[in-house]
Amino acid sequence: MDFLLLLLAVFGIILIITLIILCVRLNFTLSRINLLLDDVNEKMEVVDQVFTLVSKVTSSINLVNDKIAGMITSVITSLITKIKKKKEEEEEF
């Protein structure tokens, strides 16, 4: 009976030591993962800034294109109006 209790105590001590070692390794692993995630977050912020810049440039180009298209449309409309007025004046005579 004493041998069984001694064997149980030894296995208990081995189990506790193993759990302590696993917890220490887990702590180191979690600190490495934390550093890795911080690095990834910093890089994602840089990429996000690049995408924001691209979005602003695209918006500016789109605004310029819209203004140019509006100017061309107004010029064509005014030309068509002038041509119609000339035809109407010619038809009146």
Please write the tens of the pLDDT for every residue from 27-75. 999 999 999 999 999 999 999 999 999 999 999 999 999 999 999 999 9
The band of 93, judged by pLDDT with boundaries at 50, 70 and 90, is low
Query: For residues 43 and 37, what is the distance between their CA atoms, to the nearest angstrom?
Result: 10
- Name the E strands within 12-81: none
pLDDT at 21 over 90: yes
Residue owning tokens 């789109």: 62
Sign of CA dihedral 60, 62, 63, 65: positive
- According to the model, what pLDDT value does residue 82 have? 85
Q: For residues 72 and 87, which has the higher predicted lDDT (pLDDT)?
A: 72
- d(C-alpha 57, C-alpha 64), whole Å: 11
